[in-house]
Chain A
């Protein structure tokens, strides 16, 4: 068990009621990634500089519009953590030399999609963690290269149809365990979150904010466009991801992994899958029992492995 830190977010109504991320972004209606970002930003506060990689959220700031009340720097798809390194180091130099007063300091956050986090940017992330960089990494994971039309990415789950996995069985590979890869670096903190569980998210960001060193957050980002569901279903899909156990909410700290919201009775995973057009071929014209059973078995095996941990 991780130590219990007093949280100010005990109930939903404790969450911030004013939102600092500006409206008017070009993100799709119902975007689960934007939902997570605004919740995270509310906790981090505007004294944050986001260093962004190529992905959907490249277009958060399109000249002359930015939703950030604080600062932002766009870098490239593969090197946002290195950009964070440069900003953090430069701020530290300025602070050490007294060229800026402490109140002018900024928290440094990296913001990338799964394409960058799970693939192209993994080397830069590994480097930043190993150097002990004091930063927070937020990955919005919509399980595909969403900005280019949802091609298969290193985060795409088994069986999902994507723009580059259009055959009758969908994507034949398996989603990479980025949480474990990050945790294997032994950073200060790693957590999974989802915007549809705002209290869990707020507590984790609150905790991460109080820490130093590398803190990395993966937010599953239900994606109406890429996953093919009606935007009004975003919260429902997200909640099902948690209730079915396919998206475990957990955190890593001091060498320990702790699950923060364990579904007491897991809903069958097909309830989650059948809400999404990308899995429609598993249900019609006839049910693909083998694939459904395989996905369910993987979820079951994951939780079976967790028994006794809590």
Chain B
């Protein structure tokens, strides 16, 4: 085992290398590019026995990835943001082929307006595709979860592609100490790929990705994919437990930080969750009983673990770094759906939208969110959704609008 300072992107590349990925269809996009550049360098210099091919688009890249997985090799690929959107048709196509592969997404906000900086709208747009989703908070987790993702994807009861998500900039370009396991140890955890019956051989003809006419086969196949995704939960738990036993790092489907005795909880995914931990520590110092609940697994959704984690809490602040236009925070809606009607569900589930387009979330904002939830718990009235956006930010935008010659008529009072 080596301990090294590496970026989240390099950690993802290490995951692919240690998993002995055999095939990498690739297409560059900021902030993912370092992943494929790192792999290309290793392949060119003989450090990795793998074939990489540059496709002409992400749509083709995911097509090639799915086709190669359907032919019987272990596939890795990576993209981000607009690339994920461009590939969306194939993201929905590959799961039904039951061809396992691992896709790393480096989260970045979606246009319009175009941005290079991170939020989670890209990966959440793939939420319903059938790709299982693992969300990482540290560079170490990126490497480890990539290995776990292969076990999960290739699990006999699952056989679905898995998406591993890391935040652009905050993880992709940030170096942190990462333990890089020995290849032999990884080989014990993750043996070579078994294609089972998903493969193309001359001797055993097969037609894959076949159409249906009629709703009964359609309903059957789609729901079977869903059931397989649900099987991913116990499968993930077992694989994560095995990983913890072998490597000493625990990746339960839901991370709980000081939440056992907490009255109030912050609920979020991704790398900003470590900032929330810091805020939790500060609030604990001030005597507030606050914790963090962070799902690592978003598909399959860990319903029971979340209900358990939040049972009896007086209030939850859900921080969504995404926005379903016309509805609000996606994580908030999802969490509400598993808590509704539960006898010991938290009475207050407050929605906060923050971190859009890479916007920082400051410690004072975490404190304020909990302050609001505490007040709401007293009054019993759930506060309206709140965008984390300050007077100064609005002033900054107004200045830009003046330069852009926007004639803004103040709304009539």
Does chain A touch chain B in the assembled complex, meaning CB atoms less than 8 Å apart?
yes
Question: Do residues B59 and A72 form an inter-chain contact, with CB atoms below 8 A?
Answer: no
B55 at the interface (CB under 8 A from A): yes
Q: A46-B205, A66-B207, A73-B208 given as contacts; is B56 within 8 A of A127 (CB)?
A: yes
In the assembled complex, the Cα of A80 lies from the Cα of B75 at a distance in Å of 18
Q: Count residues of chain A with CB under 8 A from any CB of chain B.
A: 47
In the assembled complex, the Cα of A75 lies from the Cα of B207 at a distance in Å of 12
- Considering only residues 46-73 of chain B, those with a C-beta below 8 Å from chain A are 51, 53-57, 59-61, 63-73
Least CB separation from A72: chain B residue? B207
Interfacial chain B residues near A123, Cβ < 8 Å: 56-57, 60
Q: A71-B200, A82-B60, A85-B53 given as contacts; is B210 within 8 A of A61 (CB)?
A: yes
Question: Do residues A83 and B23 form an inter-chain contact, with CB atoms below 8 A?
Answer: no
B37 at the interface (CB under 8 A from A): no
Q: A76-B63, A82-B61, A127-B55 given as contacts; is B23 within 8 A of A90 (CB)?
A: yes
Least CB separation from A125: chain B residue? B56
A205 at the interface (CB under 8 A from B): no
Q: A85-B25, A86-B65, A93-B73 given as contacts; is B211 within 8 A of A61 (CB)?
A: yes
- Considering only residues 232-250 of chain A, those with a C-beta below 8 Å from chain B are none
B22 at the interface (CB under 8 A from A): yes
A111 at the interface (CB under 8 A from B): no
Interface size on B, as a range, is 35 or more
Q: A63-B211, A66-B207, A124-B56 given as contacts; is B202 within 8 A of A86 (CB)?
A: no
Question: Do residues A93 and B64 form an inter-chain contact, with CB atoms below 8 A?
Answer: no
Distance in angstroms from B211 CB to nearest chain A CB is 5
B234 at the interface (CB under 8 A from A): no
B 177-206 to A, binary, CB cutoff 8 A, 1 in contact else 0: 000000000000000000000001111011
Q: List 12 A-B contacts (CB under 8 A).
A: A71-B200, A72-B207, A75-B63, A75-B66, A83-B64, A87-B70, A90-B75, A93-B22, A93-B68, A99-B72, A100-B201, A104-B201
Interfacial chain B residues near A85, Cβ < 8 Å: 25, 53, 55, 60, 64, 67
Q: A71-B207, A86-B71, A106-B202 given as contacts; is B63 within 8 A of A93 (CB)?
A: no
Question: Do residues A73 and B209 form an inter-chain contact, with CB atoms below 8 A?
Answer: yes
Distance in angstroms from A41 CB to nearest chain B CB is 13
A84 at the interface (CB under 8 A from B): yes
For A94, give its contact among B71, B208, B217 (CB under 8 Å): B71
A201 at the interface (CB under 8 A from B): no
Distance in angstroms from B51 CB to nearest chain A CB is 6
Question: Do residues B23 and A105 form an inter-chain contact, with CB atoms below 8 A?
Answer: no
Distance in angstroms from B105 CB to nearest chain A CB is 19
A49 at the interface (CB under 8 A from B): yes
Question: Do residues B56 and A51 form an inter-chain contact, with CB atoms below 8 A?
Answer: no
- Considering only residues 25-47 of chain A, those with a C-beta below 8 Å from chain B are 46-47
B123 at the interface (CB under 8 A from A): no
If A74-B211, A81-B60, A89-B51 are given as contacts, then 11 extra A-B residue pairs at C-beta distance below 8 Å, sorted by A number, are A51-B67, A61-B207, A62-B211, A63-B210, A71-B205, A74-B210, A82-B59, A83-B63, A86-B66, A124-B60, A127-B60
Interfacial chain A residues near B64, Cβ < 8 Å: 82-83, 85-86, 89
Question: Do residues B59 and A79 form an inter-chain contact, with CB atoms below 8 A?
Answer: yes
Q: A79-B90, A89-B68, A127-B60 given as contacts; is B209 within 8 A of A74 (CB)?
A: yes
In the assembled complex, the Cα of A80 lies from the Cα of B208 at a distance in Å of 13
Interfacial chain B residues near A59, Cβ < 8 Å: 211, 213
Interfacial chain A residues near B72, Cβ < 8 Å: 90, 94, 99-100
- Most chain B beta-carbon neighbours within 10 Å: one of A51, A74, A90, A105: A90
For B68, give its contact among A47, A49, A86 (CB under 8 Å): A86
- Considering only residues 103-122 of chain A, those with a C-beta below 8 Å from chain B are 103-106
Question: Do residues B59 and A76 form an inter-chain contact, with CB atoms below 8 A?
Answer: yes
In the assembled complex, the Cα of A46 lies from the Cα of B200 at a distance in Å of 12
Least CB separation from B73: chain A residue? A90
For B205, give its contact among A70, A76, A82, A90 (CB under 8 Å): A70
A68 at the interface (CB under 8 A from B): yes
Question: Do residues B201 and A83 form an inter-chain contact, with CB atoms below 8 A?
Answer: no
Interfacial chain B residues near A62, Cβ < 8 Å: 210-213
Question: Do residues A71 and B206 form an inter-chain contact, with CB atoms below 8 A?
Answer: yes
Distance in angstroms from A34 CB to nearest chain B CB is 16
B 84-100 to A, binary, CB cutoff 8 A, 1 in contact else 0: 00000110010000000
Top 6 closest pairs, chain A to chain B, by CB: A86-B67, A82-B60, A127-B56, A90-B71, A86-B64, A74-B209
In the assembled complex, the Cα of A182 lies from the Cα of B205 at a distance in Å of 30
In the assembled complex, the Cα of A69 lies from the Cα of B206 at a distance in Å of 9
Q: A62-B210, A74-B209, A92-B51 given as contacts; is B67 within 8 A of A87 (CB)?
A: yes
In the assembled complex, the Cα of A47 lies from the Cα of B205 at a distance in Å of 8
Least CB separation from A85: chain B residue? B64
Interfacial chain A residues near B55, Cβ < 8 Å: 82, 85, 127
Question: Do residues B51 and A76 form an inter-chain contact, with CB atoms below 8 A?
Answer: no
Question: Do residues A124 and B57 form an inter-chain contact, with CB atoms below 8 A?
Answer: yes
For B93, give its contact among A72, A75, A100, A103 (CB under 8 Å): A75
A196 at the interface (CB under 8 A from B): no
Least CB separation from A121: chain B residue? B60
Question: Do residues A63 and B90 form an inter-chain contact, with CB atoms below 8 A?
Answer: no
A131 at the interface (CB under 8 A from B): yes
Question: Do residues A105 and B202 form an inter-chain contact, with CB atoms below 8 A?
Answer: yes
A78 at the interface (CB under 8 A from B): yes
Question: Do residues A68 and B207 form an inter-chain contact, with CB atoms below 8 A?
Answer: yes
A150 at the interface (CB under 8 A from B): no
Distance in angstroms from B197 CB to nearest chain A CB is 12
For B200, give its contact among A63, A73, A81 (CB under 8 Å): A73
Least CB separation from A45: chain B residue? B202
A126 at the interface (CB under 8 A from B): yes
In the assembled complex, the Cα of A63 lies from the Cα of B208 at a distance in Å of 10
Question: Do residues A73 and B201 form an inter-chain contact, with CB atoms below 8 A?
Answer: no
Interfacial chain B residues near A103, Cβ < 8 Å: 202-203
Interfacial chain B residues near A104, Cβ < 8 Å: 201-203
A 121-165 to B, binary, CB cutoff 8 A, 1 in contact else 0: 001101100010000000000000000000000000000000000
A191 at the interface (CB under 8 A from B): no
- Most chain B beta-carbon neighbours within 10 Å: one of A46, A71, A84: A71
A58 at the interface (CB under 8 A from B): yes
Distance in angstroms from A28 CB to nearest chain B CB is 16
For B67, give its contact among A58, A82, A99, A127 (CB under 8 Å): A82
In the assembled complex, the Cα of A46 lies from the Cα of B206 at a distance in Å of 11
In the assembled complex, the Cα of A49 lies from the Cα of B205 at a distance in Å of 9
